[in-house]
Amino acid sequence: MGKSYVGDIGTRIRINVCSDITSASGTWYNVLKPDGTEVEWDCMIEDYTKGIIYYDTISGDFNVSGRYKYQGEIVLTNGDRWSAETRMFDVYGAYQ
């Protein structure tokens, strides 16, 4: 992921959870925005056996500049649920 700016749309945020998620029934990111707002972004699965999930940003996702923290969540069909490591990225204001 390259440098992101407030208002960007279509930025792909991808992580590898390093585990087979063939039996995943749900994936999402829990996101903490710089202003303290918490949101969930529903993820897509890119590769089930390698455990790669991603989210493409939409309008309103990058509405404030600063450091965003996010954590992938996976739910399997057997009811198991686990979290990936917390990761961070910065979103910049205009001309930064």
Task: Quote the DSSP letter at residue 25.
Answer: E
pLDDT of residue 17: 87
Token pair belonging to 12? 């792909």
- pTM summary value: 0.90
Rounded mean pLDDT, 81-95: 94
Q: Where are the domains of the chain?
A: 4-92
Q: What is the pLDDT of residues 21-42, one digit of tens each?
A: 999 999 999 999 999 999 999 9
Chain-centroid distance, C-alpha 90: 13
Q: What is the pLDDT of residues 44-64, one digit of tens each?
A: 999 999 999 999 999 999 999
Rounded mean pLDDT, 78-86: 91
Fold category of 4-92 in CATH: Immunoglobulin-like (2.60.40)
Token pair belonging to 32? 């903490």
Distance CA 75, CA 79 (A): 6
Contact 53, 17 (CB under 8 A): yes
pLDDT of residue 13: 96
